Amino acid sequence: MSLLDFIQLTPRSSIGGIEIQATLEEIHNSTVQITEHPVELGAEITDHAFKKPDEVILRCAWSNSSPQALLGTVQRLFSGELSGADYVSDVYSQLRELQEAREPFEIVTTTRRYQNMLITALQVTRDQKTGNALVCTATCREVIIVQTKATTLPPRQDQASPEETAEVEDRGTVQAVPATPSPGGAVSPLDMVKQSVSSAVSGAIDAINPGDFFSIPALPTPQSFGISLGGIDLNMGLSFKGAAGWVMDVANNVGDTLLSGVPLVTGGNLLEQFEHLGIPGGLWVQTKNAPDAVPTFDNLGVESFLFYVADRA
C-alpha cells in the first residue's frame, strides 16, 4: 500500500469491487414518484408517494499506462503467463461479467455508497486518442429488495374476534349441489324463499322448477373459491365486514372484478340489478326457520345458505 492510500480523504471509487482508476463524471438520480390525483386534506401523504430506485451514472476510465497495469504485466511475465489480453481489456471483461451475472453489488462513489445495484447499460467509447485506455459509462440502478414474513394465526376457536382476524381460506374450486331439500333441514329452498317475499313475487316463484335450485357450499369463515354458475366459470369471495355482515365479491376466470362488496341480504335476487354482467340465473340467501334473518358470522353454510337458481330461459 502506497503513502497516497493512507492520506487520501475519500474512499476509492469502485463498481462491484472493480476499482475505478479515474472518475470523469458522476450523475446521481434520486426520485420520488408522487400521485397526479388530488389528495384529500388530512390524508397520509406517504400513501400517495413512493421512492423510486436510485440510479447512478458513472463515466470512468482505466489506462494501460497506469501503475496497476504495469504491475500486472510484470507479474504475468514472471509467472510465465504471456496472455494477449491487456489491462483495460481485462477490466472491460470484468464489467461485462458483472452486468451479465445480474447479482446485486455495491458501488462506492466520491459522494455516497449504493447497495443492491445492477448495471442497466454499459457504454464504451474508444477512438484514436484513447486506444490505450478504457473510457466507460456505466448506468446502474438500485434493486429494491424486501423481505416477506409468513405467519400463522391461532386456531379460530382461540381467537377473541374471529370475524375480524380469521384468515381467508382458499378453497380451490367447489361445485354447487342440488338443494332439495335445503341443507340442514327438510324445508325446501322454494318454501324458504316464498316465506320472505311478497305474495306477488311468491306466485312467480311457484313456477320455478325445484330442480333448478342449487346450494353454494359456503363456510362460516372468510373464503375464496372458484365455481361454475350457468356454465360460466367465476371466482367468488365471501368476507365478513362487521356491521355490514357478509359481503360477496365476484370476478371472472381471468381475475377481472365483476361485483364487489355485495351484501348477503335476504328477500331478493342478489344479481337482479346486475343483469348487464351476463351471469345467468339468480342468487338468494335464506336462513333455516327464519328466512328473513341475514346470516351471522357463525351460521353461514350451517343454518343460513346461499342458493343459486338456474335460468332456464
Decide if 282 contacts 186 (C-beta within 8 A): no
Residue 142 has pLDDT above 60, yes or no: yes
CA 114 – CA 106 distance, rounded (Å): 6
Helix (H) or strand (E) holding 247: strand 246-252
Q: How far is residue 164's CA from residue 150's CA, in Å, rounded to a whole number?
A: 19
Compute CA 22 distance to the chain's CA centroid, rounded to the nearest angstrom. 42
Least confident segment among 69-73, 99-103, 134-138, 247-251: 69-73
Rounded CA separation 181/188 (Å): 4
Query: Of all residues in the chain, what percent carry a pLDDT higher than 70?
Result: 76
Percent of the chain exceeding pLDDT 90 equals 41
152: cell is 400463522
Amino acid at 188: S
Q: How confident is the model at residue 3 (pLDDT cuts 50, 70, 90)?
A: very low
Query: pLDDT (tens digit, 9 = 90+) per residue, 120-138?
Result: 999 998 777 767 889 999 9
Q: E strands within 30-132?
A: 32-34, 49-51, 55-63, 105-108, 113-125
CA distances in angstroms from 120 to 24, 51, 92, 171, listed in the order given: 19, 19, 15, 42
Measured distance CA(163)–CA(242) in Å, rounded: 7
Q: Which of 102-106, 134-138, 281-285 has the lowest mean pLDDT?
A: 281-285
pLDDT for the residue 205 = 53
Please report which confidence band the pLDDT of residue 9 belongs to, taking 50, 70 and 90 as the band edges: very low
Domain locations along the chain:
9-142, 164-309
What does the pLDDT average to over 177-188? 54
Q: What is the pLDDT of residue 168?
A: 87
User: Rounded to whole angstroms, how far apart are CA atoms 54 and 140?
Assistant: 8
Contact 249, 259 (CB under 8 A): yes
CATH number of 9-142: 2.40.30
**DSSP string for 38-55:** ---TTS-GGGGEEEPPPE
Q: Residue 2: pLDDT band by 50, 70, 90 thresholds?
A: very low
More confident residue, 28 or 37: 28
Q: How far is CA 177 from the centre of its chain?
A: 34
Residue that wins the pLDDT comparison between 148 and 202: 148
* Cell numbers representing residue 112 in the block: 455516497
pLDDT at 192 over 70: no
Q: Which helix (H) or strand (E) holds 285?
A: strand 282-287
What order of strands is seen across the sheet that includes strand 213-216?
Answer: 177-178, 213-216, 304-309, 282-287
Q: Which residues, 6 or more positions from 252, have their beta carbon under 8 angstroms from its beta carbon? A: 232, 233, 234, 235, 258
Q: Do 194 and 205 form a contact (C-beta atoms < 8 A)?
A: yes
Query: Which of 45-49, 134-138, 177-181 reaches the highest mean pLDDT?
Result: 134-138
Set of cell numbers at residue 293: 334473518
Residue with cell 331439500: 181
Q: Which of 60, 62, 64 is nearest to 27 (CA)?
A: 60
What is the chain's percent helix, strand, coil content, to nearest 5? 20, 35, 45
Mean pLDDT (the chain) is 81
Give the count of beta carbons closer than 10 Å to the beta carbon of residue 102: 9
Q: Say what the pLDDT of residue 4 is.
A: 42
